[in-house]
Every structure is written in C-alpha cells, then in structure tokens.
Amino acid sequence: MRTLTIALSVTALLVCRGSGQSPDKSDQRDRVFFLTHTPTVQQFLEVATVIRTMTDIRQVSTDNDQKSVTVHAAAGQIAMAEWLFNELDNPAVQTSVLHEYRVPGSNDDVVRLFYLTHTATVQDFQEVATLVRTIADFRRAFTNNELRAFAVRGTAAQIGLAEFLVKQLEPATTPASREYRMPGGNDDVVRVLYLTHTGDIQSFQKAATQLRTATQIKRVFTYNTPKAVALRGTADQIAMAERVAKEVDKP
C-alpha cells in the first residue's frame, strides 16, 4: 500500500496558498475520506486536489490503492472538505441544484461548484472555466474534466459574476447578450458579445483582438465554439465594444 503526498503539479488552473484563515493549531484533527466513485487514479487525484485547493489544507495525503484522502486540519476546514467530498464523489449529480458552501463566520467567503454539462469537449469545458476564472479574478479555481465540474472560491460578488457568465455560456442555445454590473462598482461592467458572422475561428479571434485594441479593455476572453467574447471594463468601454462589434460582425 502506498501513501503519496498530493503533488502541486496536478492539473490545477490555479493553486493559491494564501487562505485568509489562521486555523487554531489546538483544533487540528485527522480525517480520512474514501472515494468510491472515482474509477481512475487521475480522477481520484483531481478530486483530492480540489479538496486541498478549496480548503487550504496543507497536510493532505492520498492512498491510490485504497482511494483514500487523509487530511490534518481544523474543524472548519474539515467541514468544507466533507462537503466537497460528498459533492464530487457522487455518481448522480443533480445539476439543477445549487452546489454552494458558505464558510461559517464569514459573509463573503463562498465555495461554488458549477457543472458545465453543455460543453461537448474537454477543450470547450476548459475554455469556459478559464474565461470565468479570468473575468471574475478568482485566485482559487480548479477543474475536473471527467465530471465537467468547475470549483471556485471567492467573494459573493465573484460568485454572482461567475453564475452570470455560466448562464450566458452554458445553455444549448445562445442567449441574448446581457450585461452584469459588479455590486458596489458603478463603473465595473461585464458583457458577453456573440460574433456569429465572423466565419472561421481565425477570423473570430481577429475580430476579438480588434475589440480589445479599439476599447483598450484589459480583461477580454473568448470561447470559440459559440464565438463568444466576454469583456469587463467601464461602462464607456463596454458601449464602445458594442459599437465595434457591430462593425466587425457583419454577414
């Protein structure tokens, strides 16, 4: 039987050690989770890494043969780890249910799982996840390709923005473009535009670059399959982006 410490190089989008938490060492305890619905070692390690990344637990080890994850952490961290374990080691995920965990004692520290069930390929799934992470500025985010699960941890405002973006990009049919204004930021606007007449992917990417250059918006990211461009900037920049989009997205 082998026990391995989880490697930092497992396919995380981003692993951040800064936790914002200072667990009381006297409150540390051990907990072992046995994952029964992860058929491959890779999937098992991805689930284990999601748990470590989201909870900021540093003392984590895995046993590939037993499919077990052992953690040594504070009670609050273990409670979050248990929630993640129950979510990710579940063969019958209900995508219509809200998969969210609010950290006790904090009104602005939220963990959310999104299941991107309409992304046909792993590349599509990764593009959506990277777009959401980039536009919402998540420091802690992780993907599980097999489950099409995207885990993020951030403020309530970041989670709200992520939900907006997922609803824009996930439906089987492309929704009408709408905007999202960040709470407390009167001039912080997010918009998703669809350049449906730009031809092939190369032409679409060229049009997206024109949008970025003309508006000087720094946060611009694309999703190739529906030819979607997500932008985050000032109200004036977003208004200019819409005008430019009409010029470059002609039949």
Which pLDDT value is given to residue 16?
Answer: 38
Which pLDDT value is given to residue 175?
Answer: 62
Which pLDDT value is given to residue 26?
Answer: 63
Which pLDDT value is given to residue 6?
Answer: 36
Q: What SS3 class is residue 144?
A: strand
* Residue-range domains of the chain with CATH: 176-251 (3.30.1370.120)
Rounded CA-CA distance 52/57 in Å is 5
Give the DSSP per-residue string, 167-205.
HHHSSSSPPPP-EEEPTT-TT-EEEEEE-TTS-SHHHHH
Which pLDDT value is given to residue 215?
Answer: 94
The answer to whether the beta carbons of residues 208 and 192 sit under 8 Å apart is no
Spell out the residues 6+ positions from residue 92 whose beta carbon is closer than 8 angstroms to its own: none
The answer to whether the beta carbons of residues 144 and 47 sit under 8 Å apart is yes
Which pLDDT value is given to residue 171?
Answer: 74
Query: pLDDT tens digits, residue range 10-54?
Result: 334 333 333 444 545 667 899 999 988 888 888 888 888 899 989
Which pLDDT value is given to residue 25?
Answer: 61
Low-confidence ranges of the chain (pLDDT < 50): 1-21, 23
First and final C-alpha spacing in the chain: 62
